Chains A and B, each alone.
Chain A
Amino acid sequence: MQESATRPLNIVVLVKHVPDAQFDRHLTGPGHTLDRAESILSELDEYALEAALQLAEARGGESAGNRVTALAMGPAAAVNAVKKSLQIGAYAGVHLADDALAGSDAAGTSLALAAAVRAVAESNGPVDLVITGMASTDGETSLVPAQLAERLQLAQVTFASELEVADVDGAPVVKARRDGDSFTETVEAPLPALVSVTDQANSPRYPNFKGIMAAKKKPVTVLTLADIGVDPAQVGHDGAWTAVAASAPRPPRSQGTIITDDGTAGVQLVEYLAAQKLI
């Protein structure tokens, strides 16, 4: 029998609790890890969540059997990223929390997240889409989505600025638009797939009072490494494939010359550039 043209989707959205970039951020301790006070749901992950909610809503939402699960990995406070996601509209949350995860690099993070996605699939059914933001606003390596796709052997569609799931011969296919420097391209991939979205993909909704109240009743599953079958030696500081040997704040830029335009500032600018051998 042909599959229904609108079979529900099972979507996992990766959400990260990151230090608020509005404040100064610091590396601390022997592992040169980020001080995580003043943390929030990563701004770029809100676009991923919104994309997931829109795809699910286009197929009838939660009542039609679609699932949107927000998954966060991190210490106890990281559950706040899951809770915020539930307030915004995610249907369920998963928090992967284990002391052994502290200091994980991209390889360890992608290993643990891949196992967590498999755990969601075991309890929820096959995952159709893993959706992420374009980058985290803390590590900024942009490595984790691609490494997760590699580990889960998913087709990878990154930096989508437009996104839809269309049914082609009864099977859902993700179609996206990507904007490069010199061209725009359309790409498509069969499900299951990993998709990352840019901040052009949508306008994230805000949690409203109803959403905040409803979030209190939504389930948050807490998983440990033992629950997902990951050896603690493969993650965290000890399992990392890369190590930070030293870190230092960039010396502050000393303020240079500031002039007020008296009608000759453009000429003075060119003189400055010439003196610096920049023209």
Chain B
Amino acid sequence: MASVLVFLDVPALPLPRAARELLTLAGTVGEPVVAAAHRADQAMLDALASHGAVKVYEPAGELDTVLVAAKAAFLADAAKTEQPAAILLGNSFEDREIAARTGIKLGSGVITDAVAVAPDLAVTKSVLAGSYTSTCRVRTGTPVITVKANSVEPAPADPAAAAPQRVEVPLSDAGPAARVTGRSGKRVSGRPELAEARVIVAGGRGMDGNFGPVEDLADLLGGAVGASRAATDAGWIEHSAQVGQTGKTVSPQLYISAGISGAIQQKAGMQTAKVIVAVNKDADAPVFEIADFGIVGDVFSVLPQAADEIRKRRA
């Protein structure tokens, strides 16, 4: 059976949903094989095996002070050894860059933003900020495909799976590369990553500088906090929370839009959400055109009331 090489940049335990989705998807196309940019310990190998990985490629040394160039070189080297039917990555900015460079190194076409990959490697993707769906195919080389989070239902783990084979990949020259000279961690919120979250509560201009109700509801729902550009530009919340054409594109199960009018650039970032709830005091806000459930009302009474009701039901 042909293998499918799954690139995992920083695997962590428990295995993130996005990684489990990629392994599950790989298993529907072929036999999952992992290229892990960091060396895996035994617990990690067991976790990868339990999600279908039969082989794990690891770099012979540390890659992390150079940016994507070294990771792309590692992935391309692993692919040259493995000769998989396809290569799957996540859809973060960095994963897409690694895919981009790997594609050139292998002479292979790259498709980003995939939401489905058929067994014959036809790829369904969302384009023009979610306003179109297209079906694409790689014509040249080994298909390199980056897959959006929440595209696949991860298969349950099989704790009895056999240990994967480990293969060490010698470090090769990645060429000129940027180096990380400093890194400062931001506040750790314990919330899921925006791009991968199943629930997002997003606030906009209507939050008037107070994101408390948005954060409270997000935490109750185990979700991430998002924001419109107006809210991030105003400095009410960090820029990494921005959803929209110039921020992140998200496809959660539930997107709650609070105090956001829903200009076209904001819609572009969230219109593929499965369920959209909108709360805005302006009945003419464009966001209501795409909302499954819309509330014309004040975010500062609706959101806290909803949060109280959830607490009451759980008590």
Using CB atoms and an 8 Å cutoff, list the residues of chain A in contact with chain B. Answer: 21-22, 24-25, 27, 32, 34, 43-44, 105-107, 110, 134, 137-138, 140-147, 149-151, 153-159, 161, 175-176, 179-190, 193, 198-200, 240-250, 253, 255-261, 263-270, 272-274, 276, 278-279
Answer whether residue B199 sits at the interface, using C-beta atoms and an 8 A cutoff. yes
Q: Which of B37-45, B55-63, B158-166, B284-292 contacts A (4 or more CB under 8 A)?
A: B284-292
User: Which 8 A-B pairs rank lowest in CB-CB distance, beginning with the nearest?
Assistant: A266-B305, A261-B297, A241-B109, A146-B100, A256-B292, A189-B178, A266-B306, A247-B134
Using CB atoms and an 8 Å cutoff, list the residues of chain B in contact with chain A. Answer: 67-69, 72, 93, 96-101, 103-105, 107-113, 122, 126-141, 175-186, 188, 193-195, 199, 221, 238-240, 245-246, 249, 253-254, 264-265, 268, 271-272, 275-277, 279, 283, 288-298, 301-310, 313
Residues of A within 8 A of B279 (CB): 265, 269
B305 near A265: Cβ-Cβ < 8 Å? yes
When chains A and B are docked, how far (Å) is the Cα of A85 from the Cα of B182? 34
Main secondary structure, interface of A, reads mixed
Residues of A within 8 A of B290 (CB): 253, 255
B113 near A272: Cβ-Cβ < 8 Å? no
Residues of A within 8 A of B185 (CB): 182-183
B131 near A25: Cβ-Cβ < 8 Å? yes
Residues of A within 8 A of B111 (CB): 242
B101 near A146: Cβ-Cβ < 8 Å? yes
Residues of B within 8 A of A180 (CB): 240
A241 near B136: Cβ-Cβ < 8 Å? no
Main secondary structure, interface of B, reads mixed
When chains A and B are docked, how far (Å) is the Cα of A43 from the Cα of B265? 12
A-B contact pairs, 8 of them (CB 8 A): A27-B132, A107-B110, A153-B175, A157-B67, A188-B181, A241-B103, A260-B283, A273-B254
A150 near B101: Cβ-Cβ < 8 Å? yes
Distance to closest chain B CB from A238 (angstroms): 10
When chains A and B are docked, how far (Å) is the Cα of A121 from the Cα of B298? 58
When chains A and B are docked, how far (Å) is the Cα of A147 from the Cα of B68? 12
B177 near A156: Cβ-Cβ < 8 Å? yes
B178 near A187: Cβ-Cβ < 8 Å? yes
Residues of B within 8 A of A185 (CB): 180, 182-184
A200 near B105: Cβ-Cβ < 8 Å? no
B181 near A187: Cβ-Cβ < 8 Å? yes
Distance to closest chain A CB from B122 (angstroms): 7
Distance to closest chain A CB from B266 (angstroms): 11
When chains A and B are docked, how far (Å) is the Cα of A197 from the Cα of B245? 15
Residues of A within 8 A of B97 (CB): 142, 145-146, 156, 158
Q: In the complex, which of the residues A25, A161, A259 contacts B296, with contact meaning CB atoms closer than 8 Å?
A: A259
Residues of B within 8 A of A187 (CB): 67, 178-181
